[in-house]
Every structure is written in structure tokens, then in C-alpha cells.
Amino acid sequence: MGGDLADVRLWAGELEAVHGRFVHRFSRSEPRESALAYMRGLIAPLQRKNGWTLAEEAGHAGPGRIHRMLNRIEWDADEVLDDVRRYVVDNLGDPGAVLVVDDTGFLKKGTRSAGVQRQYSGTAGRTENCQVGVFLAYATDRGRTLIDRRLYLPTSWTDDPERCRRAGIGDEVAFETKVAMAKAMVRRAIADKVPFRWVTADAAYGFSKGWRSELERADVFHVMATTRHDTVVTRWAIDHPVHSAKQECGLDDYQVRRHPGWHRHMTLAMAAHACLTVLRARELDTGKAETDPPSSSTSASPRYES
């Protein structure tokens, strides 16, 4: 988006519209206001997007309100995510869309952040001390954004109940493979009637014959890489929204250690990114309307490569 006053007003107004989708999920005014201020800060052109800088951008005396909203005040990030996903579908929904599964690493220091351990990070391209998030992207010709997320918890965490409790991980949370997380996210999208035509993932997920069989039984088109040397030509669709959400909306610029805080930050960052994606889609629509002859009729059809 551009940087002039009209653009600022445009994205600020749309951000309020996104916020309006889930404002009822907060029972108190402070977290309602803090969530909107947080998203505004995530979109703002700040060099660093931490509690102090976001609080300063919001005009707060310190980061206390931001920290309470992420870590202490009760609200359900999954319910908010449901509202954000519906916003994406209402504005970008396309029966020819692609659901793309992939994971990304978040480098961390220490051992206290939920799910952190030395593990392979696709972001770094090597084994690092990091958290790994599994994401589901929604890709259409008009825009690409993220609609689901889960924090991967290795067995070094799930086998240690006391360590989990200290990080806000409930006793009911059991170990899940990344493939199991991917299955759950796609099932959720289907249950929520998210319109799409294809599911795609790389070899880390495509090796699961069970999941491929499940998709076939559900009559869901899918394209999966099946060996580590294969490539998926639609891979850019997940890399683009994760990368742009990191660059534009502080997806990886967070200071939370606890399990609920991670999901809350990710949800609000994804909401901010969805807002920008929808605004860009509208710009494309406007540009197309201005260049198309008045008498012409066009029909959008998804384009796939194989």
C-alpha cells in the first residue's frame, strides 16, 4: 500500500472493519482496544515490532496493556481466527482456490518458549534452536493470505507435563505430527465450507499415504510432492503469504513464550495481513474495471500448472 494520507485512511478503515468481525469475542473494552492497537502497530512501518514499540505507536505509557492482551486476559484465539477466516472467504472466496500447507521456523534463544528445541528450520535451511509453526494458506488469483496456524510441539515438550504447564500448554494437549496438524486444518476448512479446488503441500506432508487416501476418498483434488527431491510448482503460494506476513505484519516479530500467546499473536498478525491482502485485491479489481472495455465480459478461471 502507498504511504500517503488517503492510503493510511484506507487501511485504517479496513483494519477497523476486520476488527469489527471479532470484537464481540472480548468481554472487556481494554483487550478490544488493545487488539486493534496491536494490529495497527503490526502494519505500521516500524523497524522493530515488540511490546514497547507497539505500545509507543498506540500512545501507551508502556507495554503493559499489550502484554496483558497477549498473555493474561482470557479470550479465544481460535474463535477470532474463525472470524478472520470468514472475512477472507467473504472477500477473496473462490471455488478455484488452492489450500497450501507448509511450516516455517521462528528462531529463538533459550528453552522456555513453547515448543522450542533444536530442530530443522526451513527458514534457516538448517537445524537451529527454534519454534516451528504449521500454516494453511488460501491462494487465489486475487490474493494469498493465511487462514490457519498451529504451533508444533515436539515430544521433548509433550512428554514433560510440568514443562508444558509452565508454558501454558494444557494437559489435554497431546503430541501431534505436523501431518496430523495439516489434516486438522484442512478438515476445519472443509467443515467451515471454505471454497477451494485443490490442496497442495511439499514432500514433508505428501509422503503420508494415509492423508493422500483420505483426500481421495473425500474427492478433494490434491498435488503433493512425495520425495525430498520433488518440487511442488504451486509452492510460491505459501512462501509468499508467510514471507509477506513476516515482512509487513510482524508475523515473526513477537515476544511471547507461552502457548496461548503464540496463537494470539499469530492470529492478530494474520488478521492484519488479510486486511492488506483484501485491499490489494480491491485495487486489482478497480484497475481491471478501469481497463476493461465497458462491453466486454470476462470470466475468471483458476490456472494450474502440473
pLDDT at 221 over 50: yes
pLDDT at 219 over 70: yes
Q: What is the mean pLDDT of the chain?
A: 86
Of residues 116 and 305, the one with the higher pLDDT is 116
Q: How high is the pLDDT of residue 288?
A: 64
What does the pLDDT average to over 157-176? 96
Asked if 26 and 75 count as a contact pair (C-beta separation under 8 A), the reply is yes
Asked if 151 and 115 count as a contact pair (C-beta separation under 8 A), the reply is yes
- Winning range, highest mean pLDDT, from 9-13, 41-45, 140-144: 140-144
Q: How high is the pLDDT of residue 237?
A: 58
HSE-up of residue 289 (Cα within 13 Å, Cβ side): 6
Q: How far apart are CA 104 and CA 66, in angstroms?
A: 25
Band (215; pLDDT cuts 50, 70, 90):
confident
Of residues 4 and 88, the one with the higher pLDDT is 88
- What phi, psi does 144 have (nearest 5°)? -135, 130
pLDDT at 306 over 60: no
What does the pLDDT average to over 23-46? 93
- The string of pLDDT tens digits covering residues 67-114 is 999 999 999 999 999 999 999 999 999 999 999 998 999 999 999 999
Q: How high is the pLDDT of residue 284?
A: 87
Give the least confident one: 178-182, 191-195, 219-223, 300-304.
300-304
Percent of the chain at pLDDT > 90 equals 64
Q: In sequence order, what are the beta bridge partners of 144?
A: 139
| CA-wise closest residue to 248 among 151, 144, 152 | 144
Name the amino acid, one letter, at 180: A
Q: How high is the pLDDT of residue 91?
A: 97
